[in-house]
Amino acid sequence: MPLAPILREYEQVILDLDGCVWVGEEPTPRAKEAIEALRAAGKGVAFVTNNSRHAGEDFVARLWKLGIQASLADVVTVGGALQHLLAETRTGSMAYVIGEPTIYRHVEDAGLKVMNGTDLASRADLVLVSGTDRVDYDDLKTATLALSRGADFLATSRDPTYPTSEGLVPGPGALLAAIETASGRTAEIVGKPQPQLFLSAIDRLGDAPTLVVGDRVDADLGAATAAGLDAALVLTGGVSREEAEKAVDPAPVAIAETLADLVLA
């Protein structure tokens, strides 16, 4: 299947997963065909995600379930980037974590002790905020107390919403906003719009002309700009055409309704 002319300028493509390849449990229209066409044309393909709820193996399994071949080396997750950062900078620290069990494992595998559920939780050295739908007032209170005592402050992303089949629902940025407001502190972000996920993908793909395809101006276009990469936006996730067309400095190199509309001639 022939590719759209814009793809002739690039040797490889980095695809955001949530909102670009799938929304909720469903693939975006003809996403499988678009990815197959990229590979058939000899383009390198990597997948990235700010979604901290699942491990890399879970995303690989989900891609296979949709008929899209992928290996663990093809997928760069914010959880993996977080673990790498913590292992290099904070091994031995005590952490208070807001997130799913996958993030707890990344933190522990990096050599930190998770203090949730202990009497020392509010005296943790590090507060980490990531995506979850299992959070209550005590979580917000404990995180705020630890930060008031000088804990370091990390978050996986500022994404305010997360695309699902029902529509946009609160993302990790919504939880983060509450804790930043209460504590008067600002978190350091590990995932997009920081460039590290895309730079990690480039490390795996190789240094060649690369196009990022995402669904958010702030996260995807912002991270691509920080990484020195061109980006295109699709409208299946968290951005409207009006918002995409207003993006400047730089603007996306293309705007399309879906990944397939962008990729396929």
Catalytically active residues are 16, 18
Question: DSSP of 205-244, one letter per residue?
Answer: H-SS-EEEEES-IIIIIHHHHHHT-EEEEESSSS--HHHH
Peptide bond into 29 cis (omega under 30): no
Pairing type for strands 167-170 and 161-164 reads antiparallel
- C-beta separation of 172 from 137 below 8 A: no
State the Cα–Cα distance between residues 164 and 222, nearest whole angstrom.
22
Closest CA to 256 of 210, 215, 224, 203: 215
